[in-house]
Each structure stands twice: as C-alpha cells, then as structure tokens.
Amino acid sequence: MRIHFGVDYYPEHWPRERWETDAKLMKEMGVQVVRMAEFSWFKMEPSEGEFHFEWLEDAVALLDSYGIKSVLGTPTAAPPAWIIEKNPEILPIDMQGRRRHFGGRHHDCQSNPAYRAHIKRFVTAMTKRFANNPGVIGWQIDNELGNSHWDLCMCDSCKQRYQEWLENKYKKIETLNDAWGTAFWSQGFNSFAQIGTPLITAVGENPSAMLDWRTFCSDLIVDFAKWQADIIRENCPNHFITHNYMCFDEKVNYYDLGELLDFVSNDIYPAGNWQQQPHQPCHMMAASHDVIRGYKKKPFWMMEQQANTAGWGTMGHALDPGQMAAWAMQSVAHGADAVVFFRWRTCAMGTEQYWHGILGHSGIPGRVYQEAQKLIKTFEPYMEEFQGSMPKPEVAIVHSFRQAYALQIQPNHPDLWYVGQLHKYYKGFYDQKIPVDFVQGMDDLSQYKLVVAPLQYIMTPELEQHYIDYVENGGHLVLTMRTGVKDDNNLCMTDRCLPGRLGDICGIEIPEYDCLFCKECSALYGSKDYPIEKWADIITLKGATALAEYGSSFYKGMPAVTENTYGKGKVWYVGTEPTEDFMTDLAEYFVKNSDVESLGSAPEGVEIMTRENASQKWIFVINMTNENKVYSLNDSYKMLEGEREGDLKPYEVHLFVKKKYGR
Ligand code: GAL
C-alpha cells in the first residue's frame, strides 16, 4: 500500500452527491490518503450517546473504493454545544480569570474530569466502530494540541491538578519554598493547597513558579493525549497514532508527546495570512522540518502542507506557480514520508472560508489542482524508496523546551527569542548547504563533529558533564551568551563565575556582562567590524584565545568570541548575538575547523538537502525562488529528475541519487 500524498478532507461540509466527484478527482490527482473528522464531533454524536458514524463510514468506503485510505482525527478540539450546556465547567479560564466561551474551537479544559469522561465515551465508541474498517489506517489525536491554549486554563480543576503535580514533585512544602525562592516578596506557602494557577497578579511573577507552571501545562497536555492514545491502542491495535505538531511551537514538549505516537506529523503554513512578509524565510521552514524529524529521530508526515492562499478574516497572497510543489518537496527532502495538503476544497462556511484548498470554492479543478497532480506524478514513483531514509548530519543544534520556557519567562533582553536564536545559528549552516539535526542536550552527541548549544541558560550538573565529555572525546562545541546562569529551579547560580563549570572547557570567565538594550555595540573579527545584538559577555581569558573583540563601550578590545582546546576537542564561546554577516563568517570558521562537509554551493534561496539509507543517498536541490538559479554539487550523483544539472528554473526541483556499494 503506497501512502505518500493526500489531502485534508471535510465531506461533512458538502452535499453527499458531491462526494463521488471528489473521490474521482482525488484519484486523478494521485491522492492516496485523506485525513477526516477531526472537527466533526456534533455530526457524529448530536446528543449524548446518540452516535451517527454512518456518514463517515460511507465516506471512508467511497474513498476506499477509489483506493484512498483514511486517517481519522478524534474531534476533541471542538466539543459540541450540548456538552457545554451539560458541563459548562469544561470551558477554560484565562489568566484574567475570564471564561472563554463556545463559538470557536479549543474551548476545553484539558484536566476537567467531566470533559475527560465525554472523551472516553466518544473516543471508545468511535475507535470500536472503525477498528476493523478496511479503509482506515490510523488516527490523529485531537488537533494541534497547545494551539489556542496559550493563557489557558486557570480553572479549579487545573488548580487541583497543579497542586497534586507540585506535591508529587516536591513532597514537602518547605522544599517548594526553597526551590521557588519564596523568601522574596513574602511569597512563602504553608501548604500546597495555598498555591493557585497563575492568574494575573498586581505586579510581577515568580520565575521559578512560572517554570513549573509551564512544565505542568506541558505534562497535562501529554496526559490529555495519553487519555486518548490508550483507548485507541486498546481498540485499534493495527492502526497507527500520530498528532499534527506545529514546528517549533512551545506549549507542549513535543519530545514527551512523541513518546505516545508511532510517528510525528507537522503542519506548515509558510505564507500564513498573519505574516508581514511574502513567506517565512526558507531556512526557517527547513529548520522546522529538521526539528520535527528530531522529535522522534525518524521520518514524519506532513499532515497539513499549505496548498494555497491562507486566510481567515484577511488573506495572504496567492502562491506562485510551482511554489506549493517546491515547499512540499522541501518537506520530503527533510524527512517527510507523506505529504497531506490542507485542504481539499476551500470551505464555503465558518471561520476558514478564505483558507484556500487544492480546489477553490467552485470545486472546479484549476491551476493548483494541476500543479499538485504534476508534483505527485513526478515524485510519487520515488517516495516508496525514500521511506525511512534520513539525512546524516555532521552538525547538531541543541534544542530544549525548558530553555525556551525559562527565556520566555525572563528573556533577559526584551527582543531575545530562544527559537529565533536557534534559527540564526541554523542559517549559518543552511547557507553553506550543510544539513543539521536538532537534538536534546542529553542525547548522544558522539556522532556529530560539531554541536552548537545556544543559550544554555538553565544548567544541570549532568548536562555540564555531558558537554565536558563530548569535548574531551574530540567534539567541537559552540556555547553562547547566557550559558550556565540558572539552576534547574530557575534560580540564579551563585557558587561560580559564569559560565560555571563549563568555564573550564571554554578557558574563560565572565565576571560582568552588558545587556545591549538601547545601546549599540560591535565586534571586530578578522578585519571587519560587525554590529552585534542584545548582549555582550565581558570575558576574561583563562587559557582561551580571542577570536573576536568588542569594538566599542568600556570593554572595547576585550574578547567577544573565544576559542579553546580541551581534551581532544575544541570549544568556541560566543558572548553575544551575532548579526547575520557575522554569523555567516563565524559558521564558516566553525565548519572549516571541524571538518564538516558541505553538499554543494548555491545562492540564497536554493536548498540542497539529502536523505539516505543503507543502499542509496539522494540529493534534493530545490529552487525556492521565482528566479532562475545555478548550483553545483560537491560529489557526483546520477540525476533522476530535472532538466539541466546546475541550472534551476523558478521553483524547480532536481533529484539525484548515488548507490552506496560495498554494504
Ligand atoms: C491549522 C489547523 C487547521 C486549520 C488550519 C488553517 O492550524 O490545524 O485545522 O485551522 O490551521 O487555519
């Protein structure tokens, strides 16, 4: 069974007489899978216990008769009005203490026992009903968990869960008081029962408490997903379970969530209507795919790949001819085993009337349909072979939800964005056509020649030791500003000079620093003076050498970037946030001195990526722009798709392969 291309389909939005036309058009386009039902609870259970799955069974059977398989979503991101009427306490409460009401989606509290009971009843019935349906292959739990829940939920049920979570973590209230530093502003507690959810305060908040709250929220969402995953596993042992992630989104720890799933799926809208630019920069899209691959260290599905103009109240632009296909192939190049387009047909009703699909409102196939058809016809034949293959990067960037949370709670500099800083480092490698993995700090790093660990703000003795061992054994490590500042409770560490124990492997000490808020500064590297941003660690050398020096302020001439040899390896410390040109030059230096290899060379906007398995290695060259471009590869490969090697037309994709012998 080949399942590589599909669409998100909402048959319940259209008259039945249309379904067969849809199935036929899908088949002609090359669709092999649809995702359905993730928002159709009311249609399946219009009142308590009154189940109507027949319409969905009919849709599944019809599609199956055209050779199209179904992934079903549990519709728990949109509880119907009758559930809210019966159990209004399900509606979530925001930080202002206000209830959010029915009329959109995600109007649910994920800890609420009444809601959990409704879910149990419904998901049990749905999974039992479809367990042996030959058209169904798998499940998507809920939809984009964490989306819309940014400041939710502060209700009594969540409060009770939070108190239990804290008691389980700290056991004694005195331990919590120490861990949260409640001596400050008289915030001590006598019992766990006194601790509330973080409703808006008169002023300020406790960073340690907030870090626990963020972690609790993530754990709660994972538990909410598990509530459903357990039911699906029990009733549908032959089906897979996945969930549609949102790239780098931080509300739920995607590594933890991934443990419940067979594979991860992703949603990507590079030209969302909310964006101030024509589309997300290509390196950010690429990084999103790489982090998605990193959450489970395996290939993934795209469950919602943007097909056309995005829009709710206002709209983004129409995609250029070929742009959607180039984006889809970028997903594949980074590890997608299947690409499902959002959505099949542009909806005529509701909030998303302007979120355009493969078909427009009219349902008549047009340019976008033909482009999707061509894409599938061209690349489907290779997709089966790509299955399971992965890139094998020599560079890793460390990614952590905990660092993200701590730096959201206290960004240090008002514009510091943890994920943004990962993107900056990533771009330094992306532009050199060097594949990158995202890893967690405690992962086995030994397979990487170069590891970049930006903003290691929260530090534990275990992580320190892990980095020390990596370098000692020959690894090349880049550490940056704000490393080793906080302990795991989000309290500032006092037993050391920054960056703590890692100062030994860096060969430096940082007795002072300067937040570059309302202040300009530069760094001299080679013969150039580069502007720098946000931060300046004022570094004293303790064995390291200076690679770059500050060009202004009272620390002019002091080291901004350092290099140190330790054990068999090397550590670079970057005491600031380099601006783009500086980052480019630094990344080139790191690459050169770590023997990392590039796949080729090409101007900005041309992506070169690779996937491989035991017998073959593929190279994807993708023109992400509407201009002609040139490129060259650093090795010789056999061209499988494309017109002229080295020359790309707008949005053209070239595919190459190399057989690996002797294995
Ligand atoms: C996604 C979501 C879809 C749809 C789409 C367009 O975030 O999963 O259900 O809402 O955005 O807005």
pLDDT tens digits along 239-298: 999 999 999 999 999 999 999 999 999 999 999 888 888 889 999 999 999 999 999 999
Q: CA 652 to CA 650: how far, in whole Å? A: 5
Q: CA 611 to CA 238: how far, in whole Å? A: 28
Do residues 253 and 216 touch, judged by C-beta distance below 8 A? Answer: no
Atom of ligand 1 nearest to the CA of 312: 12
Q: Is the dihedral of CA 421, 423, 426, 427 positive or negative?
A: negative
Looking at residue 151, its pLDDT comes to: 83
Q: Is the CB of 355 under 6 A from ligand 1?
A: yes
Q: How far is CA 143 from CA 9, 37, 258, 259, 642, in A?
A: 14, 11, 14, 17, 37
For residue 382, pLDDT over 60 is answered with yes
Do residues 292 and 330 touch, judged by C-beta distance below 8 A? Answer: no
Residue 544 Cα to chain centre, angstroms: 35
What is the arithmetic mean of pLDDT over 38-48? 98
Q: Which residues of 245-277 are buried (b: 16+ CB within 10 A; e: fewer)?
A: bbbbbbbbbbbbbbebbebbbbbbbbbebeeee
Radius of gyration of the chain (CA): 26
Atom of ligand 1 nearest to the CA of 246: 7
* Residue 4: CB atoms within 10 Å: 24
Residues 6+ apart with CB under 8 A from 574: 478, 479, 480, 481, 560, 561, 586
Q: Is the CB of 341 under 6 A from ligand 1?
A: no
- Write out the catalytic residue numbers: 144, 304
For residue 636, pLDDT over 50 is answered with yes
Q: Is the CB of 346 under 6 A from ligand 1?
A: no
The strand pair at 569-574 and 521-525 is best described as unpaired
Looking at residue 662, its pLDDT comes to: 47
For residue 542, pLDDT over 90 is answered with yes
Residues 6+ apart with CB under 8 A from 519: 553
Q: Is the CB of 267 under 6 A from ligand 1?
A: yes
Token representation of residue 323: 């742009």
Token representation of residue 42: 């009311």
User: What backbone torsions phi and psi does residue 179 show, to the nearest 5 degrees?
Assistant: -65, -30
SS3 277: coil
Q: How far is CA 329 from CA 321, 370, 651, in A?
A: 14, 16, 10
Residue with tokens 């995702």: 35
Angle at 424 between CA 510 and CA 264, to 5 degrees: 115
Looking at residue 499, its pLDDT comes to: 97
Q: CA 8 to CA 38: how far, in whole Å? A: 10
What is the arithmetic mean of pLDDT over 449-467? 98
DSSP E strand stretches across 488-598: 508-515, 521-525, 528-533, 535-541, 545-550, 559-566, 569-574, 577-578
Q: CA 490 to CA 569: how far, in whole Å? A: 30
Q: Is the CB of 8 under 6 A from ligand 1?
A: no
Q: CA 271 to CA 242: how far, in whole Å? A: 25
Reported as a single tens digit per residue, the pLDDT across 559-617 is 999 999 999 999 999 999 999 999 999 999 999 999 999 999 999 999 999 999 999 99
Residues 6+ apart with CB under 8 A from 532: 516, 521, 522, 523, 560, 576, 577, 578, 579, 582
Q: CA 536 to CA 550: how far, in whole Å? A: 8
Q: Is the dihedral of CA 290, 296, 299, 305 positive or negative?
A: negative
Looking at residue 284, its pLDDT comes to: 97
Q: CA 331 to CA 542: how far, in whole Å? A: 45
User: In a mutational test of the pocket of ligand 1, which residue from 71, 141, 246, 267 has the highest number of ligand atoms less than 8 Å from its CB?
Assistant: 267
Q: CA 456 to CA 65: how far, in whole Å? A: 53
Q: Determine the angle formed by the axes of helices 207-235 and 156-170, rounding to 10 degrees.
A: 100
Q: CA 110 to CA 495: how far, in whole Å? A: 40
- Whole-number Å distance, alpha carbon 307 to ligand 1 midpoint, is 12
Chain-wide mean pLDDT for the chain? 97
Q: Which residues of 108-137 are buried (b: 16+ CB within 10 A; e: fewer)?
A: bbbbbeebbebbeebbebbbebbeebebbb
Atom of ligand 1 nearest to the CA of 39: 9
Q: CA 652 to CA 663: how far, in whole Å? A: 33
Q: CA 379 to CA 599: how far, in whole Å? A: 22
- Whole-number Å distance, alpha carbon 257 to ligand 1 midpoint, is 19
For ligand 1, atom 10, the nearest C-alpha belongs to 352
Q: Is the CB of 509 under 6 A from ligand 1?
A: no
- Percentage of the chain with pLDDT > 90? 97
For residue 661, pLDDT over 70 is answered with no
Q: Is the dihedral of CA 223, 398, 250, 343 positive or negative?
A: negative
SS3 114: helix
Q: Is the CB of 144 under 6 A from ligand 1?
A: yes
Residue with tokens 């089906």: 239
Which residue from 424, 538, 472 is spatially nearest to 546, judged by alpha carbons? 538
User: In a mutational test of the pocket of ligand 1, which residue from 9, 10, 143 has the highest number of ligand atoms less than 8 Å from its CB?
Assistant: 143
- Percentage of the chain with pLDDT > 70? 100
SS3 408: helix
Q: Is the CB of 352 under 6 A from ligand 1?
A: yes
Q: Report the largest interatomic distance among the alpha carbons of the chain, rounded to a whole angstrom.
A: 77
Reported as a single tens digit per residue, the pLDDT across 49-92 is 999 999 999 999 999 999 999 999 999 999 999 999 999 999 99
User: In a mutational test of the pocket of ligand 1, which residue from 249, 352, 354, 356 has the highest number of ligand atoms less than 8 Å from its CB?
Assistant: 352
- Helix H or strand E encompassing 450: strand 450-453
For residue 525, what are the β-bridge partners? 528, 548
Do residues 578 and 424 touch, judged by C-beta distance below 8 A? Answer: yes
Reported as a single tens digit per residue, the pLDDT across 493-518 is 998 899 999 999 999 999 999 999 99
Q: Determine the angle formed by the axes of helices 367-386 and 16-29, rounding to 10 degrees.
A: 60
Q: Is the CB of 464 under 6 A from ligand 1?
A: no
Do residues 136 and 79 touch, judged by C-beta distance below 8 A? Answer: no
- Helix H or strand E encompassing 601: strand 600-601
Burial label for 105, CB within 10 Å (0-12, 13-18, 19+), is middle
- Whole-number Å distance, alpha carbon 493 to ligand 1 midpoint, is 42
User: In a mutational test of the pocket of ligand 1, which residue from 40, 251, 342, 353 has the highest number of ligand atoms less than 8 Å from its CB?
Assistant: 342
